[in-house]
Structure 1
Amino acid sequence: MRYDSITEAIGNTPLVRIDPDVHGLRNIDLYAKLEMLNPFGSLKDRAAWNMVRAGLAGAAERGETIVELSSGNTAKALALIGGLHGLPFKSVTNRMRIPEVKDLLLLLGAEIEELPGQSECLDPTATDDPLTVFHQRLGRPGNAHLHTDQYFNPLNAEAHAQGTGPEIIADLDGRAPDWFIACVGTAGSSTGVASALRAHDPAVRVIGLVGEKSDFVPGIRTADEVQEVGLFDPAVYDAIETVSTGEALDGMVTLLRRCALLAGPTGGAAYLGALRHLRPLDAELTERRTAVFIVCDRAESYLGYVRARRPELFGRPAVKNSLTTLTAADLGQVTAIAVDEAQKWIGSGRPLVVDLRGPFAYAALHIDGSVNIVDELFDELVRNGMPFSTSRPVLLACPVGEKSARYAALLTRMGHPDVRSLAGGIVAWRDAGAPLVRD
């Protein structure tokens, strides 16, 4: 197979049947669409190429820079495509959460700008957020950037409506699957594939998978975050279900060790989410059915992410003090206090206020007197024991109050006598008009 350009190798990825002895479904054939085998390593290769190719010639003439609000696979694909066409690429993000991806982008020659966004993801309604302001400026005429705008660009979904979806139908001998299960990030792949499959067979059921509110699975937005994505339309999905980090890693390990698929955590989440949805249905079927999920990228970029959460997979001792070990009983012990109560407590009880957001979000606006310990670092500190004295009360804050509640539960279980979580997080504090300071 010979190509004149590497971009010609994008698409036409394999559809591989998962061994029933692995997944245990009796009446459903489960297939994985291996988007990790695109030339740049992920599902995003399709969208990146479809969004940028029409503007490449003009951008080169004008000396523009390709820019995208991405810290992951879209950025990687655009950096490679830009280099291929002699164009620089700039990644703008609130926070680079996967160190291996950041290092790879730098190796590819990308410029990375981390703006002091107030939350962990772009919120187009937050007009005072620096990340949102930057996004709005990119849309104005006359700027020196080719902005691909993956969260709102219909060419994102079109790449999958014209490529990924029809390929699935062709590989199933002209039939659409009965179920399509997809993790939802920018919503481009799930929206585009769903439109192609339903155009062929309106009865196809589409299951969208989002992250749990306080969790982080690379490439997947949480139930709250996904509402801010311009391409997201809840009407596309027959059901939207949550998937946890633990499930993503369990599924990833199964795909790696039992199926020889070098899947990343998002592929693991799609596999486990598919099984969880399909198992109750499988028992009631009398005819064979078909389901497809997507393995969107590869495992190698996430070794640090996996090691931090599952050290035992690397021959290291399991972590006792971890959010993954929390039970419903632990979470039931959390004391979450509203903004007005928190203000009074800060004034009278003088608790240590710990802001768990990223450094740029903290620098943008934070509670006066609070200390910034990024959640990843805080996680490492907690793993090694109580990170501060138990003689002083503690108030934990995060963007919307969910991750702080989980850490409050963990610290309470570890023996801290008075640790509380700010209900609604910094967003609630801001919306209540409570004072915030800027570095």
Structure 2
Amino acid sequence: MRYDSIIDTVGDTPLVRIDPHVHGLQNIDLYAKLEFCNPFGSLKDRAAWNMVQPGLSSAIEQGSRIVELSSGNTAKALAAIAGMHGIGFKSVTNRMKIPEIKEMLLLLGAEIEELPGQTECLDPTNSEDPLTLFHRSLDDPGSTYLHTDQYYNARNPEAHETGTGPEIVADLDGRAPDWFISGIGTAGSSTGVARALRDRNPKVGVVGLVADKSDFIPGIRNIDEVQEVGIFDPLTYDTIEKVTSSEAIDGMLTLVRQCGILAGPTGGAAYFGAVRHLRDIGPELTEPATAVFIVCDRVESYLSYIRKRRPELLGQRPGSNSAASVSPEELRETASVGVAEAQKWIATEKPLVVDMRSPYAFTALHIEGSINIVDELFEDLVRGGLPFSKSQSVLLACPVGEKSLRYAALLTRMGHPDVRSLTGGVIAWRDAGAPLVRE
């Protein structure tokens, strides 16, 4: 096939049946929509092109730059589109967590600005979040940017309502599947596809997937970040279920090794969530049914993500000084202190308070006197042994108290006599009205 532009190859991605011997579901045909076959490598290519079109001619004429609050695939697609049309692109985020994506954006000529946002996803309800303030400034009359605004732009879900969803129906011989399973990021794809499928069959079951609390799966919000703002509408979904990063990698491995589908962890999460949700439904069916999940992008961009969580998959030996090696029993036995107790402990015994959040969240608000060691750096530090003197008491704090508890357990195992975790994390500290300071 011949095309006049790479843009013409956006969409019309394959729908591939997963062999029943792989997924083990009874009476259910499971299909993967391979969105990594889009030209810039992901599901986001559709929305990026659809969102940018209305203002593109004016932006070219005025020499404006495209800007988006994105650290992932939307930014990558917009950077490629901007370069094709001779204009710049700026990615604004609070933290670039995937090195390969950051390097690809730089290769595409993008400018990257990391602001001190307090959450991984835009939270428009937080009027003090610098990321939110920047987002609002983009709508000022004097703004020189073409802001695609993926969290609010109706053309985001529209791209999937007119493209991805109808393609699924066409490939199923004019029928909508009985279930559709998708991760929730901006909620554009899950919303748009759900609308298209329910136009054909209002009874389609829609399962939204989010990351477990204090966990990270690229492209998917965690359970604390799912908010009723922007495109996201909880009524879109029959159920919203949690998936852990470990389960996402398990699902990814099944797709990569048993299906030849080089899915990233986002697609792995969708596969794992789909099979888990459907496992108990199949035996109850009297007629065959179908389900579709989205494979958002490819695995190559996430090798560092996999290396950190499953080093043995890439030929490396997992370290014994790893938070991933902490057992449930160790977690139960680890000291965890509430806000009031922590305040008293800090006032009387002056432990070293270590804030494990991103440097941008730390800059915005933190416990007075605390130091910032982001969780990824902390992981590297403990591989070499205890990072603190045994004579120094330590209080670890993360957003919600889960990562800090795991690291406190690890340090206890390594021989530190007095390390504790802040129960509920910095969020609990803030909600209790305990003082926080800005850097």
**Pairwise same-fold verdict (TM > 0.5):** yes
Corresponding residue number in structure 2 for 1:259: 259
Corresponding residue number in structure 2 for 1:145: 145
Whether the aligned pair in 1 keeps the contact of 2:121 and 2:221 (CA below 8 Å) is no
Corresponding residue number in structure 2 for 1:122: 122
Does the residue aligned with 2:293 lie in a helix, a strand or coil?
strand
Does the residue aligned with 1:297 lie in a helix, a strand or coil?
coil
Matches within 5 A, 1:35-184: 35-184=35-184
Structure 1 residue 319: deviation in Å?
3.2
Structure 1 residue 384: deviation in Å?
4.1
Corresponding residue number in structure 2 for 1:304: 304
- Unaligned runs of 5+ residues in structure 2 are none
In 2, Cα distance between equivalents of 1:317 and 1:228: 42
Does the residue aligned with 1:267 lie in a helix, a strand or coil?
helix
1:225-281 Cα distance to aligned partner (Å, 9 max, x none) = 021652111111111111111111111111111111111000111111111111111
Corresponding residue number in structure 2 for 1:277: 277
In 2, Cα distance between equivalents of 1:139 and 1:340: 42
In 1, Cα distance between equivalents of 2:435 and 2:142: 37
Alignment of 1:315 onto 2:315: yes
Does the residue aligned with 2:141 lie in a helix, a strand or coil?
coil
Corresponding residue number in structure 1 for 2:227: 227
In 1, Cα distance between equivalents of 2:402 and 2:313: 27
Structure 1 residue 388: deviation in Å?
2.0
Structure 1 residue 365: deviation in Å?
2.6
Does the residue aligned with 2:226 lie in a helix, a strand or coil?
helix
Structure 1 residue 413: deviation in Å?
4.2
**Range moving further from structure 2, 50-59 or 427-436:** 427-436
Whether the aligned pair in 1 keeps the contact of 2:94 and 2:116 (CA below 8 Å) is yes
Matches within 5 A, 1:285-304: 285-304=285-304
Corresponding residue number in structure 2 for 1:350: 350
1:350-396 Cα distance to aligned partner (Å, 9 max, x none) = 11111111122222332222111111111222344433233322111
Identical aligned residues as a percent: 70
Tell me the TM-score normalised to structure 2 length.
0.96
With over 3 angstroms needed to count, the CA separation of the structure-2 counterparts of 1:325 and 1:273, relative to structure 1, is farther
In 1, Cα distance between equivalents of 2:105 and 2:228: 26
With over 3 angstroms needed to count, the CA separation of the structure-2 counterparts of 1:402 and 1:140, relative to structure 1, is farther
Structure 1 residue 414: deviation in Å?
4.1
Does the residue aligned with 1:280 lie in a helix, a strand or coil?
coil
Whether the aligned pair in 2 keeps the contact of 1:274 and 1:293 (CA below 8 Å) is yes
Amino acid at match of 2:252: M
In 1, Cα distance between equivalents of 2:28 and 2:319: 37
In 1, Cα distance between equivalents of 2:71 and 2:228: 17
In 1, Cα distance between equivalents of 2:232 and 2:406: 28
Corresponding residue number in structure 2 for 1:394: 394
Whether the aligned pair in 2 keeps the contact of 1:123 and 1:228 (CA below 8 Å) is no
Whether the aligned pair in 2 keeps the contact of 1:65 and 1:88 (CA below 8 Å) is yes
In 2, Cα distance between equivalents of 1:304 and 1:154: 33
Does the residue aligned with 1:283 lie in a helix, a strand or coil?
helix
Whether the aligned pair in 2 keeps the contact of 1:124 and 1:228 (CA below 8 Å) is no
1:178-233 Cα distance to aligned partner (Å, 9 max, x none) = 11110111111111111111110011101111000011111111011021652111
Amino acid at match of 1:217: I
In 1, Cα distance between equivalents of 2:229 and 2:378: 29
In 2, Cα distance between equivalents of 1:209 and 1:378: 29
In 1, Cα distance between equivalents of 2:178 and 2:40: 30
Whether the aligned pair in 2 keeps the contact of 1:355 and 1:373 (CA below 8 Å) is yes
In 2, Cα distance between equivalents of 1:194 and 1:174: 15
Count of residue pairs brought into register by the alignment: 439
Structure 1 residue 3: deviation in Å?
1.5
Corresponding residue number in structure 2 for 1:374: 374
Whether the aligned pair in 1 keeps the contact of 2:119 and 2:225 (CA below 8 Å) is no
1:123-182 Cα distance to aligned partner (Å, 9 max, x none) = 212212211110111122220111111111111111111110110000000111111110
Whether the aligned pair in 2 keeps the contact of 1:71 and 1:95 (CA below 8 Å) is yes
The root-mean-square deviation of aligned C-alpha atoms, in Å, is 1.7
Does the residue aligned with 2:158 lie in a helix, a strand or coil?
helix
In 2, Cα distance between equivalents of 1:430 and 1:314: 40
Whether the aligned pair in 2 keeps the contact of 1:396 and 1:419 (CA below 8 Å) is yes
Corresponding residue number in structure 2 for 1:28: 28
Tell me the TM-score normalised to structure 1 length.
0.96
Whether the aligned pair in 1 keeps the contact of 2:338 and 2:423 (CA below 8 Å) is yes
**Range moving further from structure 2, 106-115 or 335-344:** 335-344
Whether the aligned pair in 1 keeps the contact of 2:367 and 2:436 (CA below 8 Å) is yes
Whether the aligned pair in 2 keeps the contact of 1:186 and 1:229 (CA below 8 Å) is no
Structure 1 residue 53: deviation in Å?
0.9
Does the residue aligned with 1:30 lie in a helix, a strand or coil?
strand
Corresponding residue number in structure 2 for 1:205: 205
**Range moving further from structure 2, 428-437 or 386-395:** 428-437
- Unaligned runs of 5+ residues in structure 1 are none
